[in-house]
Amino acid sequence: MDTRYRIRGGIALRGDVSISGSKNAALPLLAGSLLTSGETVLRNVPDLRDVRAMLTLLEFLGAETSFQEGTVRIRAQGVKNREIPAEFVSKLRGSIVLLGPLLARFGEVKMAYPGGCVLGKRPVHAHITAFEQLGARNRSTEEVLHLEGALTAGRVILPEFSVTATENTLLAASLLPGETTIELAAGEPHVQDVERLIAAMGAEVEGVGMHHVKVHGKASLHCTTHAVTSDYLEAGAFVIATLVTKGKLRLHGVCEDHLISFLDTIRRLGGVTKWEDDVLFVDGELSSLRALEVRTNIFPGFPTDLQAPMGVAMTQASGVSRIFERLFEGRMAYLYELEKMGAHVEILNAHEALIIGPTALKGRTVSSNDIRAGAAMVLAALSAEGETIITDVRYIERGYDRFDEKLRTLGADICKEGAADVQEMKQKSPPSRAHVHPLPLARS
């Protein structure tokens, strides 16, 4: 069903907000429940479309699941090694992290190629390479991802700092007796959460958060209870929302170590933040935003998933800002949506753009191109003059727990409309010229 956000901007956000558990951590942790046959309990789980989709997938494999008030219980003793069809994974890129647990537990895994957001090429070669180094044979075809073979502990050299390939290798290694060494491992907070989970299940992990990790696996692991780490990407979005609306927020449940690079960038931008005990205070009234250069990088560098929200902040900064996107060639598409709202943007190539500010954004109808771009358009709408309609908010709801509800508690004028509401709106008022003649998605 087509759902949209209708947002009237120009309202300063004020109050307190609690940051939810991380979606990027929750998905591999849910997959990790397959490593044991007992009951795994996960707390602080965000209620997201992707989380619900992963639970449905686990149930397809034979697991028993329940999800109540942020707590997920998974009983995996009845799990069978079934081929996973496209209907379960075509819109869930995070399903790729099932490879490790299923291959380690059953010696074979077959699934359709995972889908998800369109962020440019996101091949699976890093995963295949990792498992081949542990003894798997690649039987994949153009339609089916197929690995088989009894894995043994050993040395894995990843071809890139891939978050999901690192998570897959960690999950598999935890069930392999002996020592597995992972070189060029990713160290993002959600990867660290996976490392903590398998350690709680009985594996020994050396080098949590490092690029060189050792896992001493066990033939069998025990079930555990684990709290999902907070979402530093959601926290970053609320920080920028505060700055562009000139509001004042206190963010609860934020891990300072996860935001070191981001908050340093906010400081260079001219944003005013401070820690009050374990609470992050953001003062948009005292902030004076100025142009800067941002280069995305692997953790602990500036997160690629906060690049689009930062692009919105740059529209409100004085001077010429520059963005370098190092990881995904599809991450600049949101800039065309910002142009519809009046932003002054120069896209130099698929990885680099200039944003000239400050620019008073105007309310328009814009779309969500992916999870993070969708959040960025919400931030732009909050700071814009007039009313903005954001389409395809299903993307946003895949990554942000009750985003619209949280914003309303902070004073934002935002409502969600379903397909019936949208159709009624179309019948009552004809489309504007901006709707009839949208800006092209390519620059001449």
Catalytic residue numbers, as ranges: 117
The β-bridge partners of 385 are 362
Going edge to edge, which strands form the sheet with 108-112? 108-112, 144-148, 137-138
Report d(CA 92, CA 51) in Å as an integer: 10
Cis peptide before 358 (omega within 30 of 0): yes
Residue with structure tokens 């619209």? 404
How would DSSP label each residue in 40-107? EEEES----HHHHHHHHHHHHTT-EEEEETTEEEEE-TT----PBPHHHHTT-GGGGGGHHHHHHHHS
Residue with structure tokens 């690049």? 307
How would DSSP label each residue in 241-267? HHHHHT-EEEEES--GGGGHHHHHHHH
Which H or E element spans position 108? Answer: strand 108-112
DSSP state of 304: G
Backbone angles phi, psi at 424, to 5 degrees: -65, -40
Cβ neighbour number for residue 83 with a 10 Å cutoff: 11
Residues present in the chain in total: 444
The residue type found at 411 is G
C-beta of residue 386 within 8 angstroms of C-beta of residue 363: yes
Report d(CA 360, CA 318) in Å as an integer: 12
Closest CA to 9 of 234, 345, 235, 241: 241
Closest CA to 9 of 369, 391, 362: 362
Going edge to edge, which strands form the sheet with 71-75? 64-68, 71-75, 39-43, 225-227
Write the CB contacts of 4 (distance below 8 Å, at least 6 apart in sequence). 389, 390, 391, 393, 416, 417, 422
Q: Which two tokens stand for residue 318?
A: 């004085």
Which H or E element spans position 322? Answer: strand 319-324
